[in-house]
Structure 1
Amino acid sequence: MTYLSRITANHQVMLGKPVIKGTRITVELILRKLSEGATPADLVTMYPHLEEVDILAAIMYKPS
């Protein structure tokens, strides 16, 4: 799996911020929640559209 298969950036969605494909959940939000102490399981519970692979993709994401 590469993070590019899970993350997209489109200027019409969240002003072009990188998001998990098919959602409006930003990479920034995921990383902020993790830095605040949330676990991947917490995030999946808070955001049912997320999968653990989406969280891993957010961690691996590197802007071009």
Structure 2
Amino acid sequence: MDDSKLLERIAINPKVMVGKPVIRGTRFTVQHILGLLASGMIIDEILQEYTGLTREDVLASILLAKESLETTTFAPLSSEGV
């Protein structure tokens, strides 16, 4: 599945989860899915625990995070190491 099709799985609506990106048609936030991955869960474990999600939903969440980072400008938090 190409990137644009994956991103179609994500919805942003101010009336759903205060406008946080969610998997379309659900209240599963991208933030929650990324948190599960960051905690060490693998995709198959997430799919077992959250049966309403698909592999493509998880991949779309990762892609949204990647695309967001590509368009964000970062400033150093401190002057150490600069």
Same fold flag (TM > 0.5): yes
Q: Distance in 1 between matches of 2:23 and 2:10?
A: 5
Give the CA deviation at 1:44. 0.7
Larger radius of gyration, structure 1 or 2? Answer: 2
> Take 2:7 and 2:57, find their aligned partners in 1: how far apart are those partners?
10
Query: Per the alignment, in what secondary structure is the counterpart of residue 22 of structure 1?
Result: coil
Q: 1:21 & 1:33 partners in 2: Cα distance?
A: 18
Partner residue, 2:38: 35
Residues 16 and 27 in structure 2, CA contact (< 8 A), matched pair in contact too: yes
Whether 1:18 aligns to 2:21 is: yes
The two structures, once aligned, show a CA RMSD in angstroms of 1.4
Bigger relative contact order, structure 1 or 2 (CA pairs below 8 A, ≥6 apart): 1
The alpha carbon displacement at 1:4 in A equals 2.3
What TM-score results when the alignment is normalised by the length of structure 2?
Answer: 0.72
| Aligned length, in residue pairs | 64
Deviations 1:5-64 (CA, angstroms, capped at 9, x unpaired): 100010110000000001100000000100000010111111111000110000000348
- Whichever residue aligns with residue 20 of structure 2, its letter is K
Counterpart amino acid of residue 7 in structure 1: I
SS at match of 1:53: helix
* Structure 1 runs not aligned, ≥5 long: none
